[in-house]
Structure 1
Amino acid sequence: MVRALDYPMGNASTFSENMAYRRIADLSLRVVIGGLGPDEFPMGYVRQTLVLFGPEKVLAAGLEAYRPLAGKLLHPAEQPLAPAEAVARLVLRGPDPEGRIRDLVADAFDRVGGDLARGLTLADLATAWLPLVMTSDKLASAYALERRSPYLARDLVELSYRLPASHKITDPAQGKLILRDGAKALGLPREVWASRDKLGFASPVPAWLNGQLAAWADAAIKTALADAPPAWRPLLETGLAPGGRFDRTRMQALMAAAWFSDQPVRAAA
């Protein structure tokens, strides 16, 4: 995966996507349709609903599994966080020592003049979007697959961005309202358009790295630490501590260790 990406991407869903492409290629298929776009524009991420509605309403809507993520918005004095700070806390799944993520999010909200939904979209495009697109393209290409993203058609993207929030989400557990309405109008089954959760492309990688694969992950990270330059050491060292369900620090450290350890081999080749 690291060689295909040529970049130390630390999102655990990368593993799920890689395995899906491998299986598709094994079936001798050569073109795949991807779903990039609806979560960013018509409000499909749980982190967006946490900012729009607040953690209490989101948890009460039946998304109790996201309590660890909602906990990032709890304030000691019970004072509400500014939207930009709330988004930065939710986006961050690892260290941000130079505050680059917070700067990108703050700039996104400065551009929209108080439109919270559009601010959330721009914040996603400024932070998580590029890694998602790059990961999908590079992993698909590694298996000689052509990946198409119909939701990124320019007219659809521009329309989605312009739509008011009331056309995107009115229920904390059901974003992408306009797509749900469209699916319902087309006669698709209720289980498609009435699902109450954004089911991400998740995998048990974090649980593996803290459980059955803990010793293997620690050994890989420590091996990289032995020769890592000073700038790399903080990221690698934080990966030696176990993380929770929504913490990507350990995965980030492992991917960085694999990328760093592979450099001499690639240079020789």
Structure 2
Amino acid sequence: MCGFVGFIDENDQTYDHRAVIVTMADAIAHRGPDSEGYFEDGRAALGFRRLAIIDLAGANQPLCNENRSLVLVSNGEIYNYRELRRQLIAAGHAFSTQGDAEVVLHGFERWGAGVLDRLRGMFAFALYDTATGELFCARDAFGIKPLYYAAEGDRILFGSEIKGLLAHPHARRSLNERRLAHWLCMEYLPDEETLFEGVRKLPAGHWLRWRNGRAERDRWFVPRFAPDAGRSLKESAEAIEAALRESVAAHAIADVDVGCFLSAGVDSSLVAREAARIMEARTFTIGWGEGRFSELEAAATFARATGLPNEGRILDAEQFFASVPAVQYAMDEPLPNPSAVPLYHLCAMAAESVKVVLSGEGADELFGGYPYYQECLAFAPYMMVPAPARRALAAAARHQPEGTHGRRFLIRGAHPLPERYIRLEYNFPWAEALDLLAPELGARCAAAPTPWELAAPLFAEIEADEITAMQTADILTWMQQDILLKADKMSMASSLELRVPFLDREVFALASTLPASHRVGRRETKIALRAAAARTLPQATAAMPKQGFVTPLAQWLREDPWREQVHEVLNSERARRFFRTDRLNALLDEHQRGPRSHMKKIWSAYCFLIWHEQYFG
């Protein structure tokens, strides 16, 4: 686990390329405090910061091939590197390290872009051809590791974090204002753009080739489900158990200590239990003084029952609010998911003892863990009603008071899945987001496509039942832009490598064959995964309902000094530049009165303003 930065700028020699690449690498030093390395040839410059995990003394980067025609910088881990290494040595390639990244370098020599289909792991990398000046970049299938770039004219900047790009003297530091309404709705941008004008993210499962100011991009992996209706639930559970056991073993390969995150849920418990079979697996849990929100007791109970060492800590409101600026800076783009804050502290705690942790991200998307997937089963018979009749019932339902039984169902039921997909208006409805923004800014954002127009091409590519379509959309958007980005940035802020055994190509190959009935039912989610868990975990853990990383934030926003602190930020001069502060105050006041919660909306505006201060203040 490391970080890299780089640029190609052969026609501008007015600045010191070496000094600039060092400054860019320094901006991401937290990703790799163990060593640093650089390459520059007057046209290109590559910088690398290393967190040493495998071949501690030898596998430093940048790496060159035998004739120094290719230079590699990479981030992540290749879990099948030993097998690939043997194949490449047999084919005549000479290795200079014992590390995993070198198989990417020689594999590209051997197979070109075809090496991507052979890599089992999490990765982002950049390969520079010293003879042609060509740059080839790629990102892993699920987007576990990030990769950003900014191309303008005959110059391209690239790297693991946006803050590394911004350290270049020709980088633009400009807010992408026209996308702010999209961000308010979804808490991320679901496409290649970022909230920095001109900075783009390479999507998961894509590669980018750049030469002489021209960029070519293509997709090398598409997550597709192909359910096998002939498999029994027992067979599914047995196959999941075997696949996860093998994946955890692969993900545990390291020359340093490896630990596990442990919540009260089934996903992290399964990973920790499998890890305990092969190593002394220390586990780490964060919780709250407010007991009804905390997972500390349940996690400790599970750890005792299974003989796992567990370290737990309590996070209080003062620590939570004090760390928000650091969290938003670490994220590069603003993220209002409150769980980012406890994850930041959990990673810091684990990093005191280990350099690698295993975590349970990805299980919900692959195995059907979110309760809103069950909505598809409820809507299925209603979708048989003709669309004009559903629209008429929705129009009538809108005249009923909010909270009326059946109102939300009838309104949402008027729309096909691409329009009612819950992530499109996860924080704010589109109209409310536009109305919240300062009038001129709101008008600019209103000219952009609606969230449904953004989602239409995505769903048009997915040929599947509604449950599977929603899972696929989550894998391509929510999981990549929220869950995995948060995991990468929060762990790397503490120089900690976070590995996700569920997001393994072999585990996905199995998950993609599960019938929808083994994923989601009317009373249960992750049906087959829970059946697998019941074979090895306590029943209470295997049956634990999905609850996410719950925080007491909604409660704290009703209490001083936290309410007053948020109120001050929401009424600042900065806030008036972007928002109608009367709308923000109305949300805060209604939240204060209760019982209705506007926590997500309030926190979105607050996090954006804190983030903006970090990068533009």
Structure 2 residue 469 is the aligned partner of structure 1 residue 119: yes
Structure 2 residue 561 is the aligned partner of structure 1 residue 202: no
> Does the 8 Å CA contact 2:519/2:525 hold for their aligned counterparts?
yes
TM-fit CA distance, 1:23: 2.4
TM-fit CA distance, 1:107: 3.2
1:64-213 → structure 2 map (5 Å cutoff): 73-75=408-410, 81-88=415-422, 92-96=426-430, 97=434, 98=448, 100-129=450-479, 130-172=481-523, 174-185=524-535, 187-195=536-544, 197-212=545-560, 213=562
Give the fraction of aligned pairs with identical amino acids, expressed as a percent.
24
Q: Which residue of 1 aligns with 2:604?
A: 252
TM-fit CA distance, 1:147: 0.2
Structure 2 residue 390 is the aligned partner of structure 1 residue 42: no
C-alpha distance in structure 2 between counterparts of 1:154 and 1:246, whole Å: 39
C-alpha distance in structure 2 between counterparts of 1:207 and 1:72, whole Å: 27
Q: Which residue of 1 aligns with 2:332?
A: 6
C-alpha distance in structure 1 between counterparts of 2:335 and 2:423, whole Å: 19
AA at the equivalent of 1:178: A
Larger mean Cα displacement after TM superposition, 82-91 or 14-23 = 82-91
C-alpha distance in structure 1 between counterparts of 2:548 and 2:428, whole Å: 19
Residues 12 and 132 of structure 1: CA distance in aligned 2, closer, same or farther (over 3 Å): same
AA at the equivalent of 2:569: A
Structure 2 residue 348 is the aligned partner of structure 1 residue 22: yes
DSSP 3-state at the match of 1:32: strand
> Does the 8 Å CA contact 1:217/1:254 hold for their aligned counterparts?
yes
Residues 224 and 175 of structure 1: CA distance in aligned 2, closer, same or farther (over 3 Å): farther
TM-fit CA distance, 1:214: 1.6
- Kindly name which structure, 1 or 2, has the bigger radius of gyration based on alpha carbons: 2
C-alpha distance in structure 2 between counterparts of 1:72 and 1:18, whole Å: 39
TM-fit CA distance, 1:81: 4.1
Residues 43 and 224 of structure 1: CA distance in aligned 2, closer, same or farther (over 3 Å): farther
Q: Which residue of 1 aligns with 2:579?
A: 233
> Does the 8 Å CA contact 1:36/1:149 hold for their aligned counterparts?
yes
Residues 53 and 47 of structure 1: CA distance in aligned 2, closer, same or farther (over 3 Å): same
TM-fit CA distance, 1:49: 1.7
| TM-score (norm: length of structure 1) | 0.78
Residues 119 and 4 of structure 1: CA distance in aligned 2, closer, same or farther (over 3 Å): same
TM-fit CA distance, 1:223: 1.9
DSSP 3-state at the match of 2:375: helix
Residues 237 and 15 of structure 1: CA distance in aligned 2, closer, same or farther (over 3 Å): farther
**1:53-110 superposed Cα distances (whole Å, 9 cap, x missing partner):** 35xxxxxxxxxxxxx8x9884335x955422333237752125445553234433332
C-alpha distance in structure 2 between counterparts of 1:159 and 1:91, whole Å: 31
TM-fit CA distance, 1:137: 0.3
Residues 177 and 140 of structure 1: CA distance in aligned 2, closer, same or farther (over 3 Å): same
DSSP 3-state at the match of 2:367: coil
> Does the 8 Å CA contact 1:47/1:90 hold for their aligned counterparts?
no
- Mark the runs of 5 or more structure 1 residues left unpaired by the alignment: 55-67
DSSP 3-state at the match of 1:94: coil
C-alpha distance in structure 2 between counterparts of 1:218 and 1:79, whole Å: 37
Which structure ranks higher in relative contact order (CA pairs < 8 Å, sequence separation ≥ 6)? 1
**1:4-38 superposed Cα distances (whole Å, 9 cap, x missing partner):** 11211111111221222222234x22211121111
Residues 82 and 141 of structure 1: CA distance in aligned 2, closer, same or farther (over 3 Å): same
> Does the 8 Å CA contact 1:32/1:146 hold for their aligned counterparts?
yes
DSSP 3-state at the match of 1:93: coil
C-alpha distance in structure 2 between counterparts of 1:251 and 1:132, whole Å: 17
> Does the 8 Å CA contact 1:51/1:87 hold for their aligned counterparts?
no
Residues 226 and 179 of structure 1: CA distance in aligned 2, closer, same or farther (over 3 Å): closer
Compute the RMSD of aligned alpha carbons. Answer: 2.9
TM-fit CA distance, 1:262: 2.1
C-alpha distance in structure 1 between counterparts of 2:489 and 2:425, whole Å: 22
C-alpha distance in structure 2 between counterparts of 1:72 and 1:200, whole Å: 26
DSSP 3-state at the match of 2:512: helix
> Does the 8 Å CA contact 2:328/2:607 hold for their aligned counterparts?
yes
Aligned length in residues: 243
TM-fit CA distance, 1:194: 2.0
C-alpha distance in structure 1 between counterparts of 2:406 and 2:345, whole Å: 31
C-alpha distance in structure 1 between counterparts of 2:413 and 2:332, whole Å: 42
C-alpha distance in structure 2 between counterparts of 1:109 and 1:158, whole Å: 21
> Does the 8 Å CA contact 1:104/1:127 hold for their aligned counterparts?
no
Q: Which residue of 2 aligns with 1:219?
A: 568
DSSP 3-state at the match of 1:147: strand
TM-fit CA distance, 1:150: 0.3
